[in-house]
Amino acid sequence: MAIPKVFITRRLPEKCIKPLQQVAEVKMWSEEYKPVPREVLLQEVQTSHGLLTMLSDRVDETLLAQAPQLKCVANLAVGYDNIDLEACRLHHVIPCNTPDVLTETTADLVFALLMASGRRLIEANDYLKQGKWQEWGPFLMAGADIHHKTIGIVGMGRIGTAVARRAQGFAMNVIYHNRRRNVEAESELGARFCGFESLLETADFVVNLIPYTETTKGLFNQNAFTKMKKTALFINAGRGATVDEDALYQALLEGEIAGAGLDVFSQEPIPKEHPLLTLEQVVALPHIGSASVETRKQMISLCCKNLMRTLAGEKPITPIETSR
């Protein structure tokens, strides 16, 4: 094959993609913070052998039908709900993701979000900077304890297990719900398997790390929030669409649950005027779970390696695995 062509859908540091540039003609969308327009992407795929995509790019039948030479889509994320896997299979395109390299970084952020929500860190910071701090008071910005509380992890895969390991350091009681039993987490971390409803009723911190699929769409609905303790905090770093956000807003407003820490939303970026952002008991982050400089470089490097291998006719390191 003549030199293959790769299109990257966001501007990435030249240094990170150098190895890829040595084996392929690489073209990159010029913006770092704006997604490539759909029509540009549809144009570019017509001549591309490889694509390096972001989680905001839809890789579907329409796109793949216009990409006769495409061999690989390397997604800069472990989640792959933006990719139609069946369409990839039909078009003989290998989809890849970035598992493992982001696990610990994302678990750090999940724990930070849990702590920020429990101990009201953002509210307290704003209170001080807005000049509201006049005197020390016994219950000034008093939050919820984290140590010795029960954490309920929904989606006990790689990241869930890494969060459980952190929770162990805080002497938390770890319960989890997952499609399959996680024997490693049970034996090494003392995590206890639970039915979904039982977890909701028991946990002080409900942590969502489940992928978005047809089955998990809107899993956290009004019924789920009603089951949670009134003192519970809901942490979401999985995907926004696994949550009915109207129901979450109502649950927070009516005191069905005490607060939420959210890194992901149904619509990203979430509009500034969204009702959830008006609540002081909500800590909201712009989807930064895996956003450390080191990890983002590793994710880019893994995407490049997957593309290079596939274009050379070899097996990629991390083709998307759906059987977990």
Ligand X SMILES: O=C(O)C(=O)CO
Ligand Y SMILES: NC(=O)C1=CN([C@@H]2O[C@H](COP(=O)(O)OP(=O)(O)OC[C@H]3O[C@@H](n4cnc5c(N)ncnc54)[C@H](O)[C@@H]3O)[C@@H](O)[C@H]2O)C=CC1
Amino acid at 12: L
Q: Is 268 a catalytic residue?
A: yes
Q: Is 231 helix (H, G, I), strand (E, B) or coil?
A: coil
User: Dihedral, CA atoms, 287, 290, 291, 293, nearest 10 degrees?
Assistant: -170
Q: Give the x/- contact pattern for ligand X in 78-97, rule: CB under 6 A.
A: xx------------------
Please report how close the Cβ of residue 278 comes to ligand Y at its closest, in angstroms: 22
CB-nearer residue toward ligand Y: 218 or 275: 218
Q: Please select the residue that binds ligand Y; options are 129, 132, 180, 272, rule is CB under 6 A.
A: 180
Please report how close the Cβ of residue 193 comes to ligand Y at its closest, in angstroms: 11
Q: Please select the residue that binds ligand X; options are 6, 77, 96, 300, rule is CB under 6 A.
A: 77
Please report how close the Cβ of residue 269 comes to ligand Y at its closest, in angstroms: 14
Please report how close the Cβ of residue 46 comes to ligand X at its closest, in angstroms: 27
CB-nearer residue toward ligand Y: 49 or 287: 287
DSSP letter, residue 263: S
Measured distance CA(41)–CA(296) in Å, rounded: 22
Query: 49, 120, 158, 239: which one is catalytic?
Result: 239
Q: Give the x/- contact pattern for ligand Y in 1-20, rule: CB under 6 A.
A: --------------------
Measured distance CA(243)–CA(208) in Å, rounded: 9
Query: Using CB under 6 A, which of the segments 17-25, 73-81, 85-93, 188-196 binds ligand X?
Result: 73-81
Measured distance CA(132)–CA(128) in Å, rounded: 6
Please report how close the Cβ of residue 97 comes to ligand Y at its closest, in angstroms: 9
77-108 burial: b if 16+ Cβ within 10 Å, else e: bbbbbbbbeebbeebebbbbbbbebbbbbbbb
Within 13 Å and on the Cβ side, how many CA atoms surround 147?
Answer: 3
CB-nearer residue toward ligand X: 79 or 259: 79
What part of residues 277-306 is at the interface with ligand X (CB under 6 A)? 289-290
As given in the structure block, the two tokens for residue 228 are 């949670």
- Are the beta carbons of 75 and 88 closer than 8 angstroms? no
Strand boundaries in the chain, DSSP class E: 5-8, 25-28, 50-53, 72-75, 94-96, 150-154, 173-177, 192-193, 205-208, 233-236, 259-262, 282-284
- Choosing among ligand X, ligand Y, none, which partner's interface includes residue 55 (Cβ < 5 to 8 Å by kind)? ligand X
**Residue 179 touches ligand Y, criterion: CB under 6 A:** yes
Amino acid at 71: K
Nearest C-alpha neighbor of 8 from the set 20, 22, 310, 237: 20
> What are the DSSP calls for 34-75, one per residue?
SPPPHHHHHHHGGG-SEEEE-TTS-B-HHHHHT-TT--EEEE
What part of residues 234-273 is at the interface with ligand Y (CB under 6 A)? 237-239, 263-264
Total number of residues binding ligand X (CB under 6 A)?
7
CB-nearer residue toward ligand X: 246 or 268: 268
**Residue 107 touches ligand X, criterion: CB under 6 A:** no
Total number of residues binding ligand Y (CB under 6 A)?
30
- Choosing among ligand X, ligand Y, none, which partner's interface includes residue 49 (Cβ < 5 to 8 Å by kind)? none
End-to-end alpha carbon distance in the chain: 35
Q: Is 91 a catalytic residue?
A: no
**Residue 9 touches ligand X, criterion: CB under 6 A:** no
Q: Any idea which residues carry the catalytic annotation? A: 239, 268, 287
Binding site for ligand Y (CB under 6 A): 78-79, 99, 102-103, 106, 155-160, 178-180, 209-211, 213, 215-216, 237-239, 263-264, 287, 289-290, 324
Residues that bind ligand X (CB under 6 A): 55, 77-79, 102, 289-290
